[in-house]
C-alpha cells in the first residue's frame, strides 16, 4: 500500500467488502480490496438508492466519475472503467501485463499462459501470475478474469472467494 502523504483515500462499501480507493490529483492510483473485513456504514450498495456518508459525499464531489462507475459495476451496468489511472509501482513487465488486462472482455476469462503469450512472453506464465498478485488496481484492471490452464481459478490477492464472486457477478449480467 502507498504512503498516505499527498494521497486521498476513500472507503467504498461493496458487496465483496470494503474497497479502499486512493487518488493522487485526478488519478486513481490504488484499489485495495478488504479480505473479510466488516463493512462500515460509509456506503450501502442498493440498486434503488445509494446512501453516502459525509466523506463519500466529498468523494462524489471530487471523484464523481469513479464513484459512479464503481457503483454501476456492482449493479451490473458497467463493463469497463474510464476513470483516469496512474500506475506508480511495478516493473516494465508488470506494466505490460496490467495493460493487457484491459483487453479481456467483461465476463470472460483467459489463462495465465494466454496472457503471457499476448504480451510476447509465452513461457512467462508464472511471472504473469506474480504480476497479477501485485496489480494495484484490481477490478479496474481485471486480473480476476485470468485463470489456470486446467480451468481452476488460480489465485487472487484478495482471496479466491472474491475472485469467484466477481466472475459469477459479471457472467450473471451477460
Say how far apart CA 83 and CA 122 lie, in whole Å. Answer: 30
Q: Are 146 and 112 in contact (CB under 8 A)?
A: yes
Q: Give the cell for residue 114.
A: 494466454
What is the phi-psi region of residue 154: left when phi exceeds 0, alpha when psi lies from -120 to 50, beta otherwise? left
Catalytic residue annotation = 143
- Coil, strand, or helix at residue 147? strand
Amino acid at each position: 500500500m502507498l504512503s498516505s502523504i499527498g494521497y486521498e483515500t476513500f472507503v467504498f462499501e461493496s458487496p465483496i467488502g470494503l474497497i479502499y480507493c486512493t487518488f493522487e490529483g485526478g488519478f486513481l492510483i490504488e484499489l485495495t480490496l478488504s479480505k473479510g473485513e466488516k463493512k462500515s456504514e460509509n456506503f450501502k450498495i442498493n440498486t434503488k438508492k445509494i446512501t453516502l456518508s459525509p466523506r463519500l459525499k466529498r468523494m462524489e464531489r471530487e471523484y464523481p466519475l469513479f464513484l459512479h462507475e464503481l457503483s454501476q459495476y456492482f449493479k451490473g451496468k458497467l463493463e469497463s472503467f474510464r476513470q483516469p489511472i496512474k500506475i506508480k509501482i511495478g516493473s516494465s513487465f508488470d506494466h505490460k501485463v496490467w495493460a493487457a488486462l484491459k483487453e479481456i472482455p467483461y465476463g470472460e476469462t483467459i489463462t495465465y499462459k494466454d496472457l503471457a503469450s499476448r504480451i510476447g512472453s509465452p513461457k512467462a506464465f508464472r511471472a504473469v501470475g506474480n504480476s497479477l498478485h501485485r496489480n494495484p488496481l484490481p477490478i479496474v484492471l481485471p486480473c480476476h478474469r485470468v485463470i489456470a490452464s486446467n480451468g481452476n481459478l488460480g489465485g487472487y490477492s484478495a482471496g479466491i472467494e472474491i475472485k469467484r464472486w466477481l466472475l459469477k457477478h459479471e457472467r450473471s449480467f451477460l
